[in-house]
A and B are shown apart, each in its own frame.
Chain A
Amino acid sequence: MPNEPKQKVHQGQFVRAVSRQGATLRLTIDGEMVEAVEGDSLLAVLLLNGRAVRHLEFGGAPRAGFCLMGACQDCWIALGDGERVRACTTPAAHGMVIWTDLQKAQAHA
């Protein structure tokens, strides 16, 4: 169940250096609600709020993307509807459900 929205600022990998104007979006990451601003990429949302964007199929090591420009494919994540997308080039949208762990995603599908 999604909890209250929270911004786990201190636990995030990324730091927002430049403010962004835009509508507030609410998404869930691994079942927890977070806030984002229109225009944020899924990768930015994930890494402003945590440190991983996915867990490797081989052994489950955390990964957080690498090239940040759509070339390395290290940032694939699962959405609530089972679709898989590249986080760094996918814009965040209101109500999106994101899983960093494919198994958890499948368990909730």
Chain B
Amino acid sequence: MRNVVIVGGGPAGIRAASVLVGAGLKPILVNETRQAGGQGYRAPAKSLALDIKSLMGSEAGKYQRLHSLFASLQEQIDYRPGTLVWGVHDKVLHTSCDGVAGTIPYDALILATGATDRTMPLPGWTLPGVFTLGGAQVILKDQGCLIGSRIVFLGSSPLLFLAALQYHKSGASIAAVVDTTPLSAKRAALRDLAASPRTLARGVMYRAALHMAGIAVIDGATPRGIDGKTHVEGVRITDGRGRERRISCNAVAYGYGLKPETQLAELAGARFQFDPDFRLWLPEMDADGRAGDNLYLAGDGSRIGGADAAEASGALAAHALLADMGLPHPASELEPLRREVERLRRFQRGLAKAFAWPVAQAAALPDETIACRCEAVTVGEIRAALHAPLGPREVNRVKAITRCGMGRCQGRFCGPALQEIVAEACGTPIADAGRLRMQAPVKPIPLHAAAEMEP
């Protein structure tokens, strides 16, 4: 019997599982969260009186379908909820479930680990009350809570308008939606965005709905900082016309889109390549998700593509795995799936250009700004290290010297900004600044669990 393991219980992992089950396999599905569904289709706890239909809007049908698909699979897979995979070594996954360590050997592995928010340091961004944009959505679905009573949505992301709308529907008072992308950048990206007219239309609709609700949307703004002593009191920006403004609020939902959770892929042997559109290092893979020996990647964990692309790429990865194992698989189904994934990822490429990652903001950050939230390393400390005689010109050396990226989050939240700061200070192209290397554990675990790692 061959051990086929899927990590991640979102749309990508669930669809991969359903294809494998269809071929007569019984995959192990490991999922860190207790509820299946992943981030976008996160299921609220039963005890919450949440109107998921209203919250999911046009996506309510897909949400329902995914959750019933998962329910129908439960008997035929080995589902392990609440289980974190924190390391991969010699075709063995290292896990932690309620603090108890375990291992899962595998013959073939599908990683469908999803994404986290992509963020940029900003003066004041460590103040209580500043949360990621994705986090603001998660806490609403997961706990039925709003991140504050008067909220600014700040950054650049297709989720910015969606999240603001979901908050509005849930009774939040929204002080403003501050979009850092100029409208001109969005117009310029229209050609790629037309690859998915339905999603494009949804985006336009969200914006219209915000206008109808009387919520101020500020375009082309530059954030200057978040004010407050012990918690958020306001956001300072320069608006698109160059006016300084201060918006009072007690919470900020902040984000610049999503970035793949690639840590396990790296530990499992995937190779990485710099992607100039996303300005990120992404795992190399073929059109079906093959990324190494018996290693397959799917969903947002490999390339941001959204929930539909996640499902289709999950199916592709599973088909690729079946083909490589010499098991029958329906070759005729693959071409349409590939076209679908290709189209949706092209759309996301358009989004990446339209909702710009604020490269100039990184260069302009005041020295006292904290870059690394975990270790409280400032932008100034990083620049000083770079400017020292024979200073480093590569992110891993900077990490060793300053501890930026060495903390508990493993560089998830400072990594992309660190690349920009290094490239700017050294005057080198961003790709030459290098990529933060990953180490196990990918998330902190109790010490006794780490002892498992030793043979």
Give the interface of A toward B (CB within 8 A).
Answer: 13-22, 37-41, 43-44, 47-48, 51-52, 56, 58-59, 61-74, 76, 86, 89
Contact = CB atoms under 8 A, between A and B. Distances in A.
B126 interface: yes
B408 A16 contact: no
A47 B145 CA distance: 10
Interface string B92-114: 00000000000000000000000
Which of B39, B261, B373 has the largest count of A CB atoms less than 10 A from its CB? B373
B148 A15 contact: yes
Prevailing SS type, chain B contact patch: loop
The 9 closest A-B pairs by CB, nearest first: A18-B144, A68-B135, A64-B128, A73-B408, A14-B145, A15-B146, A44-B143, A17-B170, A39-B47
Contacts of A41: 142-143
Contact of B374 (A13, A65, A74, A86): A74
Interface residues of B, number: 51
Interface string B121-132: 000001111111
Contacts of A64: 128-129, 131, 231
Given A67-B132, A72-B373, A44 B145 contact: yes
A22 B45 CA distance: 11
A74 B375 CA distance: 10
14 contacts: A15-B148, A20-B47, A21-B47, A40-B143, A41-B142, A52-B128, A61-B126, A64-B231, A66-B131, A66-B413, A67-B135, A68-B138, A73-B444, A76-B408
B32 interface: yes
A35 to B, nearest CB: 15
A58 B170 CA distance: 37
Which of A37, A40, A48, A51 has the largest count of B CB atoms less than 10 A from its CB? A51
Which of B44, B126, B134, B444 has the largest count of A CB atoms less than 10 A from its CB? B126
A76 B145 CA distance: 20
A17 B412 CA distance: 30
A16 B172 CA distance: 10
Nearest to A52: B128
Contact of B139 (A37, A56, A68, A74): A68
A21 B50 CA distance: 11
A101 to B, nearest CB: 13
Given A14-B148, A44-B143, A48-B145, A68 B376 contact: no
Given A13-B251, A51-B230, A73-B444, A66 B132 contact: yes
Contact of B49 (A19, A44, A63, A70): A19
Given A13-B128, A14-B145, A17-B140, A73 B116 contact: no
A66 B49 contact: no
Contacts of B297: none
B428 to A, nearest CB: 28
Contact of B147 (A14, A56, A70, A86): A14
Contact of B375 (A22, A40, A43, A58): A58
B171 interface: yes
B288 interface: no
Contacts of B211: none
Given A39-B45, A51-B231, A66-B373, A13 B32 contact: no
A28 B148 CA distance: 22
Given A22-B47, A68-B135, A69-B135, A62 B412 contact: no
B413 A67 contact: yes
B48 interface: yes
Given A19-B144, A67-B132, A39 B48 contact: yes
Contact of A14 (B47, B139, B230): B139
Contacts of B143: 14, 40-41, 43-44
